[in-house]
Every structure is written in C-alpha cells, then in structure tokens.
Structure 1
C-alpha cells in the first residue's frame, strides 16, 4: 500500500509542465498552447519520428542490455540527455528533429532499466511496449479530464494496440506499417507531442532559457523516470496480488487524494 500510494501520487499528480513551471515561475502549459501553428506542426512530426526511433531501439537493443547496469548509469544517461538539450538550446527549434530522437531514446533506456529493476523481462516484446507506454502515461496536463486521462484510462485505451503490436513483434514480422503498430504510435504520439510542446516552450522562457536546454532536458528525464518507476511498481504489484485488487486500491487512494 505504501508503494502504491507513491505510485498514485506520481501518476495522477506529476506533470512535466509542473516541473518546468516551478523552474520558470510561469505557467508553461499555457505558453506551450500559444506556440505558432508552424512550430506545432514541426513538433508533431518530431515527436512521431522520436517514438519510431525509440520503438526500434526497444525491440532491437533492450533485450541485450546487461543484467547489471554499472552504478551511476542513470546519472550518465541524464548527463547525455542534458547535453542533447544543450544542443537544442544553442540552435533552437530547427534542431528538434535531431535532438528529440536522441533524448527520447536515452529516456527509453532509463525507463527500461527501471522496468528490469521492478521485475520485468526485457526479452518479452510486451515489456518493450510497456516501456513505450510511459511516454503516453507521462504526458498528462494540468487541464486533463481525470476520467479520460487517469492512469488506468490511458492504459485501457492503449491495451488492445499494445497486445496486437506485441504479438507482431513476437513473430518477428513487425513493421512501421503494421496496423496495430500504426495505431499505437499514433495514440502515444498524440499525447507525447503535448509535453514536447511544453519542453520547447520552456526553452523560450527567459528564466529557463538562461539555464539552457540542458536544464529542460534534465527535467524531461527526471519526469519520465518518476512516471516509469510508478508504472512498473503498479505492474509488479499486479503480478503479485492480481489486477483487480490493485486497481481497486489504486482508485480508492486516487479518490482520497482528490
């Protein structure tokens, strides 16, 4: 129950906009919504490309990660993500199609490490897609409707696409054009693009801009690590106690928080 309470707080209350707003002293979510149409189009395209890159990394390299990651690996991944953010901060929006796939892939490696710590089998394709789910689960906004954007609502919305994509991957017949995969990537990208907009907007705020894209990307990594830890904690508890008891307890804790 103690682990589940921490997971509920992270999954239902933690947002990237909240972290960035604390850094900037301004409502980043509103600034992100005010980005020009051309910028939003570029962000949508970059988010989709980043997820496709992360997908191939998940399926091809995550099962081969060494069982014992060297101590401090998480700090090194954060440093690398911050370095890619510094590149974006130096050259602006034009570098996003290059920077975002790099930072998203590094975040995915961190997510996979957390999944393994919580007892997941990285050789199972379903685990790879559970790692990708984190990008949707961590893309809540302050203005989201809790009934449609809560943790279990998002998981349920993605469940069928995840199942279909995992079956394709298990049969080694997966391709970007596979219907189940196309739907899954579109579902995740539609949410992930929102937080990418917030990331871009934060870099344009003078206070945050002074800190640089490195600080924004470090917050990006920290946010998704927090969400991943909570997500895979819930999955670990489900394996031990069953899905329904865990969901019932989760919903009760969530109601009490609200």
Structure 2
C-alpha cells in the first residue's frame, strides 16, 4: 500500500493516511485511550469488582508491591536476554496457557495471585513480543524489547489518568524517557540495577500502572462466585486485554515509522478532541432534558 499524496492541491506533498491505516488508527485509539479492564471484569463476573477489593486480606497488600517490582525486574531480565526470533505462536496459544495458570487463582482465591503473577506475566511478555514482531518490530533491538514492557503500564491506566489528560501519549512520553535512559545504562553497565537509577525508575513506573489492573484482577478472584473455572476465564480476559493493548501500541509505532511520529500523534489527538466534543454535547443534552 502506497502513501497517498494530494498533488493537485495547494498542500501538495502533505502525507495523507491510507484508508486501511486510518481504520487501524481509529481502532488503536478506542483501545488505548480508554482501557477498561474493570468494566470487562464486571461484565464477566456479573458484579462490580469494587466488592472484591474489600475481601483482599491486608497482608496481601503488604507483599504485593514488593513482589510486583521483583516481577517487573525479572521481566526486564527476560526481555533483554531471552526475547528474539522463535517459533510462531498464535494469540490463542498464549490465552490457553494463561487459562491454565488462572486455575491456580480460581482454586485458592486472590492471595494466589502472589504465586500466579510471575507465571502469567511471563506468558504475557511472550505474547506481546509475538504481536510486536507481527507489526514489523525487530526483536533483536533492545529498544523494541523494552517497548514490550511499556504495554504492562499502558494497560493499567485509570479514569484519573484520563481526567489529568495524560492519555496514551502522555503516559507513553514518560515511559519512553525512562526506557531511553534505562537502555543507555543497560548498554553501558549491563542489567545490574546497583547504581542504575534509570532502570529502577522504569521498573517503578511500569509497576505502579500495572498494579492497578492486577488489583482489579485479584479483586475479581476474591469474589465467592469465582471458582477454578472462573479464575481461568478471568486470566483469559486479563491476557486478552493486554494483547489488545499490545496490538494497538505496536500499530501506533508502525504507523509512526511510516508517516512520522508528529503526524500520527496529531491525528490521534484529533480523534481525542472529536470524542471529547461529543461527550460534552451528550452531557449538555442530558442536562437540558433532566
């Protein structure tokens, strides 16, 4: 598919998005700008996830943050040392593996997430790498491998993030700065985090965002109606959520390579502006009819 140029207008030479690329951009926008894992969970389990949050034992919270950062550090090790060209796997293959791991959470409840988390995140990292490769990324590049870790943060944003107008590009900007610094330190010092604040900062940013979604997942698994089968379905939904985020993230990166970062970001922000205007109009109409 060729780039489309309007050579007959005064704006000759300005790149226009091809129809298929514009469709993919819109799909990516819908996924990235308003990720809603909690809403999907509520639909699956038939009750708001907030109820499950009250059932999580206090001791779980004490261990959660420390385990999460250790898990992210391990993912960084795997991303840098192990990712690369390998046998092609389908997205369904990784979801089947995730369902198997999810049975643990279903049997033992939300506290089992402390055992299940390292398994599931490694499955997800492999799935994300597969998606990156399918979108034209070179897994031999360190920057590409670290971009896969960004997905864990992008899939965990909350409504507060959207209200603060961080959105996809706002959070991605913060992540990319941390990733760039971490890449430099890894190239110079290796993976040792001793005396490497940039690596620690990247792990902290990803852990904080990823922890939001993990808390929602744990809350759902604490609900009494969720058993082993329910835990498998929740894990399946969990991995599918991040697969969708990964697909959208790497679609954005592919479009940026083709059209330029500034152009794609401007088109993305146009979509966000149009959606905001529609939401304002809808709220105004509802207020007038009340």
TM-score, length-scaled by structure 2: 0.81
Task: Give yes or no for contact 2:77–2:191 (8 Å, CA) kept in 1.
Answer: no
Give the distance between the partners of 1:208 and 1:250, measured in 2 at CA.
38
Consecutive unaligned residues of structure 2, counting only runs of 5 or more, are: 1-21, 277-290
Task: Give yes or no for contact 1:8–1:250 (8 Å, CA) kept in 2.
Answer: yes
Matched residue of 2:158: which SS? Answer: coil
Aligned to 1:215: 233
Aligned to 1:79: 96
Give the Å deviation of 1:52. 1.6
Aligned to 2:126: 109
Q: Give the counterpart of 2:115 among 98, 104, 109.
A: 98
Aligned to 1:238: 256
Q: Give the counterpart of 2:60 among 36, 39, 64.
A: 39
Consecutive unaligned residues of structure 1, counting only runs of 5 or more, are: none
Aligned to 1:227: 245
Give the Å deviation of 1:126. 0.7
Aligned to 1:69: 88
Aligned to 2:31: 10
Aligned to 2:285: none
RMSD: 2.0
More moved, 37-46 vs 244-253: 37-46
Give the Å deviation of 1:102. 0.8
Give the Å deviation of 1:93. 4.0
Matched residue of 1:212: which SS? Answer: helix
Give the distance between the partners of 2:275 and 2:249, measured in 1 at CA.
18
Answer yes or no: is 1:19 the counterpart of 2:14: no
Aligned to 1:150: 167
Give the Å deviation of 1:50. 2.0
How many residue pairs get aligned? The number is: 254
Give the distance between the partners of 2:54 and 2:64, measured in 1 at CA.
12
Distance 1:122 1:144, change over 3 A: same
Give the distance between the partners of 1:8 and 1:52, measured in 2 at CA.
29
Answer yes or no: is 1:137 the counterpart of 2:154: yes
Give the distance between the partners of 2:165 and 2:77, measured in 1 at CA.
29
* Greater length-normalized contact order (CA 8 Å, ≥ 6 residues apart): 1
- CA radius of gyration, larger in: 2
Give the Å deviation of 1:220. 0.7
Q: What do the CA deviations read for 1:142-188 (whole angstroms, capped 9, x no partner)?
A: 44434344101111112221001112333462223321110000011
Give the distance between the partners of 2:45 and 2:168, measured in 1 at CA.
27
Task: Give yes or no for contact 2:182–2:199 (8 Å, CA) kept in 1.
Answer: yes
Q: What do the CA deviations read for 1:225-244 (whole angstroms, capped 9, x no partner)?
A: 00000000000011111111
Task: Give yes or no for contact 2:136–2:254 (8 Å, CA) kept in 1.
Answer: yes
Answer yes or no: is 1:187 the counterpart of 2:205: yes
More moved, 106-115 vs 41-50: 41-50
Aligned to 2:137: 120
